[in-house]
Amino acid sequence: GAGVSQSPSNKVTEKGKDVELRCDPISGHTALYWYRQRLGQGLEFLIYFQGNSAPDKSGLPSDRFSAERTGESVSTLTIQRTQQEDSAVYLCASSSDISSYEQYFGPGTRLTVT
Amino acid sequence: DAKTTQPTSMDCAEGRAANLPCNHSTISGNEYVYWYRQIHSQGPQYIIHGLKNNETNEMASLIITEDRKSSTLILPHATLRDTAVYYCIVRGYNNNDMRFGAGTRLTVKP
pLDDT tens-digit profile of B22-44? Answer: 999 989 888 899 999 999 888 99
Q: How many angstroms separate the CA of residue A104 from the nearest CA in chain B?
A: 7
- Residue A89 near residue A111, CB atoms below 8 Å: yes
- Given a cut of 60, whether residue B1 has pLDDT beyond it is no
Distance separating alpha carbons of residues B44 and A90, to the nearest angstrom:
12
* Cα A45 to Cα A9, A90, B10, distances in angstroms: 19, 10, 26
* Residues in Cβ contact with B66 at an 8 Å cutoff, skipping those fewer than 6 apart: none
Q: In chain A, pLDDT over 90 holds for what percent of residues?
A: 68
Q: B84 has which bridge partners?
A: B106
Distances (CA, A) of A96 to A21, A33, A52, A103: 22, 12, 14, 8
Q: Quote the DSSP letter at residue B27.
A: -
Q: Count CB atoms within 10 A of the CB of residue A73.
A: 13
Task: Tell me which residues of chain A have a pLDDT lower than 50.
Answer: none
Contact map slice: A 43-72 vs B, CB within 8 A:
43-45, 48, 50, 56, 58-59
Contact B43 A99 (CB under 8 A): no
Question: Closest partner residue to B43 among A41, A102, A105, by Cβ?
Answer: A105
Do A47 and A62 touch, CB atoms closer than 8 A?
no
CB–CB contact A101 B43 (8 Å) = no
